[in-house]
Structure 1
Amino acid sequence: MRDIFDQDKSLSLGAIRQAAGIFNLLLAALVLLSVLRGLGRLFTGHFIGAFVETLGAFAVLGFLFLVVRLLTELLASMHRLNDRLTVLGDDLRSVRSADED
C-alpha cells in the first residue's frame, strides 16, 4: 500500500495499525450509541424493536470490526513479506556482483 502524499514511499506498518485502531474506536462509539438507542426504545415499551435493533447493530458492527481486523493483518503480513523479499533481493544482487568480479 502506498502513502497518500508520496506514491513512491510505501505506507508504514504503524500507520496501518493506527488507522485500524482509530476505525475500531469509531466502531466502539457506534456500538455504544446503538446500545443507548436500544435502551431508549426498551424504556418506551418497544421490546422487540429494541432487541432486534441492538442485536442487528452488534452483528453489523461486529462484522465490520472483523473485516477491518483481517484486512489489517493481511496488510501487515504483506508488508513483512515485502521487507523479506527486499532483503533477499539485495542479498542475491550482492552475491551476483561478487561473483562477476
Structure 2
Amino acid sequence: MPEEKLIGPVEVVRDEDGYWYHPGIPEFDEDHEAYKAWLDGQLLKVVGWHMESDLEAHPYWDDDACHCLGWEPETPPAYDWFLLGIFDTEDGPYVQWARREVQP
C-alpha cells in the first residue's frame, strides 16, 4: 500500500460565495468517521468555529443569503496553522484550520 502524501498549506482562492476546500482533502461523502481517521493519518490537529462567533450580523442570517462574503476568519495564534476549509453547515458557515502534530 503506497504511503499517503501529507497535505500542507496551499493558496486559498475562495469561490463566489466565499467558500473553499483544501484540494488535498479526499471526498468523504459526509462520512465523519472516515474524515476523522484521515485526519489522524495526516497527523493533523483541527480547530474550527462558526461565522456567528466572529460576526454579529451578516446577510446569511438577515437576508437568507447563502454566502459568507465579508467573513475573513483569522488564523489561530500560532505560525503553523493552515486552512482546511470554509464551508456551509446546518448551523451556518464554518471555518476549519489544521496543524501537524509533532510526534515524539
What TM-score, normalized to structure 1?
Answer: 0.23
Structure (1 or 2) with the greater strand fraction: 2
Structure (1 or 2) with the greater helix fraction: 1
What TM-score, normalized to structure 2?
Answer: 0.22
Structure with max Cα Rg: 1
